Chains A and B, each alone.
Chain A
Amino acid sequence: MTSRKIIKLAEQLLFATAVFTLVLLAFTDKVVVPVWLQAVGRMHPLLLHFPLVLLLLAMGLEIFRFKPANLTNEFYQGFLNSLWLTGALSAGITVVMGLFLSREEGYTGSALQWHKWSGAAVFFLSALLYWARNRAWYTATVARTSAVVGACLLVASGHLGATVTHGNNFVWEPVAKLAKPEPVPLEQAVVFDHVIQPIFEQKCVSCHNAEKLKGELRLTDAESVRRGGKSGKLFVAGKPEMSLLLKRIHLPEEEKKHMPPKGKSQLTDNEIALLSLWVKGNADFNKKVVDLPPSDTLRRIAAALFKPAEQVDEYDFAAADEETVQKLSNNYRTILPLAKDSPALAVYFFNQKQYAPEKLKELSDIRQQVVSLNLNKMPVSDADLKSVSQFENLRKLDVNFTNITGAGLKTLAGLKHLTELALSGTRITSSDLQEPIRTLPSLKMVALWQTGVKPADIQQLQKAYKHITFIGGFRGDEAEPIKLNPPQVKNSSTIFSQPLAMQLGHPIKGVQIRYTTDGTEPDSLKSPVFTGNTILTESASIKARAYKEGWYGSSAATFNFYKTTYKPDSVNLLLPLNRVHQADGAKTFFDGKLGVLNANSPAWANNWAGVRNNDLAFVSEFKQPISVKSVALRTMVESETGIFPPTIIEIWGGASREQMKLITTFKPAQPQKVYPPELNAYGTTFKPQTISYLKIVAKPVEQLPEWHNNKGKRGFLLVDEVFIN
């Protein structure tokens, strides 16, 4: 290939690189660099030295290019031309690589932006010069000017690049570092020295120091801050609004007297708040940050300043072999990576029956990687803790409700990263803890609920080891007694036709249930204790309460048992039911299912048959004549929403459907005001009658009373069951 051809090719490559660079620049934010190209990007710091040298050389030679002696020197001209071409081309490639590199994490900030654009400018300028430098208008002056401009740009870009790589103030940092004070932990921080003074240091001292002393004010130390300046004292202790310091800070920025002056770095909102709060708190020069109450705003803002940068656990061990992890993981022993690309593993054991000591030992292949181990409620013994101690990087260990003792705990010594230890529900005592606490240097939290460690022990431990949180948890014997919940009825149905053994129960063990059958309130002394031997033969309303040592007695629960002797062979409705209260139609009244309150919502209305615009009327047929002496309708009353008792119940009976006569009527008492919803069986007894057909008519309220929200409208009548005896 001739040199002419090579140049031609290089020129084409230069053009292509220019276009490519333009595209990348236009869409920088959207560029996604594949992994293999990242390697190319990382060669940017290596390659950049070529254009730097080549172009600087080219620019230097360009200045002298139009000297007559050089004009005729063929080698000078040819060499310079090639120098420009290779320089521009290498600059282009460097820029492309740099753009790739900038897409990696951690490259942000203004220095990067400046470097990017100046670097691109160097490339385009050199490419442009290569193209223009043989034109007629390209004179010696143009050549010199552009060479000088280009060189400046090149040096600037190089310097900015160094800042991106090595950080600001790279050169002077070692010198500056000597003067920097050690960071102070929050516990030792003094409000003035470590919170207030640093603000002055950063924002004020450059003008208010011993040399500059603007306004005769020095802010370099406590003494000078106390003294104030030309305009007087800086602050009135306790009164930020009267204090010169804050007045100046709060002036509008355009004001001449606003501090810091316009154009200088301004105070942040937090800094202003801190200064203001410090003055408000009497401008104390000695108070420590931790002396302030935890809720104090100053303390809260200041605490954030001392908080160490988020401590992300850096793991210095390699990841385990993926196949090994896969093999060790099963349904009862889950092994999960902490996160994507993290070498750390968390191990969980489930199902007591599947646990065996070997299952812990088997994990030796991943002993480096396990940082969290959960053995909650597994039958773990002291011997097993020996296997646990192999996990040298363990951070968190949960052995709640296991069989371990102090002897086992000792084997954990040497787990230097262990920070959280959950021992709740074990037999650990206070003395068992002394040694492990000393041998586990990173320990921060120990859970000790339901262990042999007494509350007093925990207080002592907490006092002795302030850096560890000991969690004692809830103790029922120390808490205020609370009220028991009421007893429950355990019979599958409270409707019965044969004598029924009443079954009452309570979810809490050892509870005593006392009850009454006469409607009076049961008490803990006189009312009979429920033993399970109560047989009911008639409908009854049982009131029962639960009692237990250490608890307040429950409120009374009322259980209504309903006796019903006869169930009709068929039932026919004479008038329709309300659309949303269909329940199971005519069968509802004898299906043995009771409804509950809150029937107004269709979802709960399943057991409630209801009417509103017409009477509730149905006929029951008995194939064998019955001797009936009482009828009752179980009815919901929710006075607020207009669900009322029937105004009148008519009982009709006879030997045939056609020959029924009115046996009796009954008028339930009507609500006189809104009261809580209740369930009542409205009925009456009468002289026994032998009948085969029974007709019941119950009328809903036609006009709700004056006091009701819906006065004048029709009321609802809801019935879930009818009892015939």
Chain B
Amino acid sequence: MASLSRPLSVWRRFTNICFISFSGVAAFLVLAPLAAIFGYLVYKGIGSITWSFLTHTPRPVGEPGGGMANAIVGSMMILGLGSLIGVPLGIGSGIYMAEFGKGRYVTFVRFTADVLNGVPSIVVGIAAYALVVLPQQHFSALSGGVALGIMMIPTIARTTEEMLLMVPNTIREAALALGIPQWRTTLQVTLRTASKGVITGAMLAFARVAGETAPLLFTAFGNQFWNLNPNQPTAALPIQIFAYAISPFDEWHRQAWAGALILIVLIVVAVSAVRVVTSRGSMANNA
């Protein structure tokens, strides 16, 4: 017993304490910027969010007032267009990978989706520029939507696949045994069972592209005025924040903070809602 209760050597105790304090400090250092960013954002932004900020278009330099109403609406339009492209394609390929997926082809698709996920957004922007803007000869909300839609596909596809794979096979077999055709089984039984998780994936993808600026710089391009035509250059919240942030005017800096606060509130609400929904209900388990 004596050997068991022998005290640790000084060196071992020292390294152990170093290690524990280092990981504690690391946790703190990682969390600190988040607190700093949120705190500063709220501190700077909240005073600048006024009614006119939410309802007016930008004013020329020097004139007080003005807002980002057109950018907020423009962002929603571009995101809507993006979702129209990204959600069906993403969910469709997710279903294919999970339900019909065996063999090399599906592994290849899965791998490509993961790699596509890591392609820089600015490169996606160039591709959308070459695909939509160049043939049309003008910037448009549509081209921005194409860029964001493409960025949504891999995320949605992979989460859909993962969620569907969690659905127990017995449920599929039960449906098929009742004589329901495959397509109906997949859509109304399997997909519906996993619907919570699939929606989560779509929301996360949406939140991820909502703040994207780089792919919109030369697709949607931005606009100082109201525009509801998807075929015209359109203002977007992230572009507007960027333009105002690098400008030399205090009034514009103020509005950039306000815009950033609105953007982040939208994103955080989406992500937290998803988190609450998924943690409350078991996703694909047959409870």
**A-B complex is real:** no
Residues of B within 8 A of A (CB): none
Interface residues of A (CB under 8 A from B): none
